Amino acid sequence: MPPPDTMFCAQQINIPPELPDLLKQFTKAAIRTQPHDVLQWSSAYFNALSRGEPLPVKERVEMPVATQKTDTGLTPGLLKILHKQLSSNQYVDVSELEQKWKDLSLPVEQLRSILALDNFGTDVEWMRFFALGCSTLGGSITSALKHACEILTKDPEGGAARIPFEVFTFFYLYLAEIDGEITESQTESVLSSLQVEVDQQDGMVQPRNFMNSLCPPLS
C-alpha cells in the first residue's frame, strides 16, 4: 500500500541558511558569464564550488563586437577564466583542457585548431597555449600581446595593463617563432629598445610601450 501523501507547512521545511546567498551568487555569475549552455556551465560551476577551485565566471559581462554577433568562440573574458583555472601548473593534460573548454560552451574545433599551431602532445604547456589563445583573439602579434597584457595584468581595469618584461619577452619570442616571418635580428632590436624604456618603469611593459613607432616589427 503506498504511503499517504505527506503534508508540509512552512515551519516543517528546513532551508539551509546559506542557500539564498549561494543562489544569489550563482545567478549573478550566470548573468556576468552569459553561458551558451546553461546546464553544462552550471554543472561546472557547482563542481568547482564544491572543490574550492576557481569558478568558470567572467569578472564582467562582455559586450560583443560586430563580428561576434553569431560567434560562440573564445573571448578575452573566457580566456581569462581558463587562465585562472589552469595556470597553477606549468603543464595541463589535454583532456582536462578539453573539459574546461566544453564547460564554457566553446567549440572543440577551435581548440583543435589552436593546438595544431604547435607540436603539443598529451600535456600542454599552459603559457604557450595561452599565448596562442591571445593570438586567436587578436589576429596580429601586436593585438595578441595587448590581449596578454590586459588579461594578465594586476593593474585595475582601465589602467596601464602592465606585465613583467620577462613575461612579455616569452610571449613575443614564442609568437614570433610561430609566425615564422619575423627575423631574429628584428626581435633582438625590438627587445633591446624596449628594455631601455621599461628599465625606467620598474621592469614592467604596458601596451603603449610596444604599440607605437618605436617597435615597427611588431605591427
Q: How confident is the model at residue 219 (pLDDT cuts 50, 70, 90)?
A: very low
Residue extents of the structural domains in the chain: 17-47
Handedness of CA 97, 101, 102, 108 (dihedral sign): negative
Cα angle vertex 191, ends 186, 196, to 5°? 135
- Can you give the pTM of this predicted structure? 0.86
Q: How far apart are CA 55 and CA 146, in angstroms?
A: 25
What is the H or E stretch that residue 30 is in?
helix 19-33
Q: Is the pLDDT of residue 217 over 60?
A: no
φ and ψ at residue 93, rounded to 5 degrees: -65, 135
Q: How far apart are CA 130 and CA 123, in angstroms?
A: 14
Query: Which range has highest mean pLDDT (86-95, 190-199, 210-219)?
Result: 86-95
| pLDDT tens, position by position, 120-163 | 999 999 999 999 999 999 888 999 999 999 999 999 988 999 99
Q: Decide: residue 32, CB within 10 A, 0-12 exposed, 13-18 middle, 19+ buried.
A: middle
Q: Is the pLDDT of residue 35 over 60?
A: yes
Q: Which residues contact 164 (CB under 8 A, 6 or more apart)?
A: 203, 204, 205
Q: Which residue has the cell 599552459?
A: 126
Handedness of CA 164, 215, 174, 96 (dihedral sign): positive
Q: How confident is the model at residue 213 (pLDDT cuts 50, 70, 90)?
A: very low
Q: Is the pLDDT of residue 214 over 60?
A: no
Q: How far apart are CA 29 and CA 27, in angstroms?
A: 5
Give 122's DSSP letter.
S
pLDDT of residue 80: 97
pLDDT of residue 10: 59
Q: Which residues contact 84 (CB under 8 A, 6 or more apart)?
A: 54
pLDDT of residue 67: 46
pLDDT of residue 4: 60
Q: Is the pLDDT of residue 20 over 60?
A: yes
